[in-house]
Amino acid sequence: MRAYSFGSLSDFSQEIAISFRLLQSYLYCMKLCPICEQKLPLSKFHKNPNTSDRRGTYCKQCDADHRRVIGQEKKAKLVKLLGGACRYCGYNLSMAALDFHHKDSNKEKNISELLKSKYETVRQEAEKCTLLCSNCHREEHYKPTIRRINARKPRKHGTSAMYRFCGPPKCDECKRFKREYMRKYMARKRAENLQ
């Protein structure tokens, strides 16, 4: 057993009181995040004046991940609401490459800023938009004086322009196009080899 040498009982009680205060401050400065289940210092939590400890429920990292997932789910609903593919070229492979283009100048806020808001608010703003892929959206803003929205026709399945955007799985028309294209290509190669 370890022996402590204190000058008097009051020195011992002061040492215990200091240790207790340090332990108490350590315990009160920590909080458990329910998602990652780690006990972290309060500085790792966002400030929230509406809670008893004046800190958010989740740690900053888990909160950011949680908000990102909710934003992606809202965007997926909006993309589905607006048809699920680019209005001009029919691109639908990656939701990250699809943008919301405001048709008129009655834009209140960007959709990306509103994804933090309630779904109804975002949906009302998205109904003012057209769904475009990144390339078509850039083209639309590159020549703002030329209105090509109604003039440009969507690509048709069974053509070279649409084949790379179709699927997966590829539709029957695009599969048929690819077979025919490869048959002609191989015939041309055979003819070149015979010469």
CA atoms within 13 A on the CB side of 156: 5
Instruction: Using the structure block, give the residue that is written with the tokens 């929230």.
Output: 48
**189 vs 74: CA distance, rounded Å:** 50
More confident position, 187 or 5: 187
**Phi-psi region at 140: left, alpha or beta (left = phi > 0; alpha = psi -120 to 50):** alpha
**38 vs 31: CA distance, rounded Å:** 8
pLDDT surpassing 60 at residue 3: no
Confidence class for position 107, pLDDT limits 50, 70, 90? confident
Cβ contacts of 123 within 8 Å, gap of 6 or more: 77, 78, 81
More confident position, 149 or 159: 159
Alpha-helix residue ranges (DSSP H) falling in the chain? 9-28, 60-81, 111-114, 119-126, 134-142, 160-163, 172-194
Q: What are the distances in angstroms from CA 44 to CA 35, 38, 66, 189?
A: 14, 11, 15, 65
Q: CA-based Rg of the chain, rounded to a whole angstrom?
A: 31
Q: What are the distances in angstroms from CA 12 to CA 6, 18, 24, 70?
A: 6, 10, 18, 54
pLDDT surpassing 50 at residue 1: no
Q: In residues, how long is the chain?
A: 195
pLDDT tens for residues 27-67? 567 888 888 888 888 888 888 888 777 788 888 898 888 88
**13 vs 157: CA distance, rounded Å:** 85
pLDDT surpassing 60 at residue 148: no
- What's the pTM value of the predicted model, to 2 decimals? 0.53
What is the rounded average pLDDT for all residues in the chain? Answer: 77
**91 vs 10: CA distance, rounded Å:** 79
pLDDT tens for residues 119-128? 888 888 888 8
More confident position, 26 or 192: 192
pLDDT surpassing 80 at residue 118: yes
Amino acid at position 114, single letter:
L
Please calculate the CA angle 120-106-96 and round it to the nearest 5 degrees.
Answer: 60
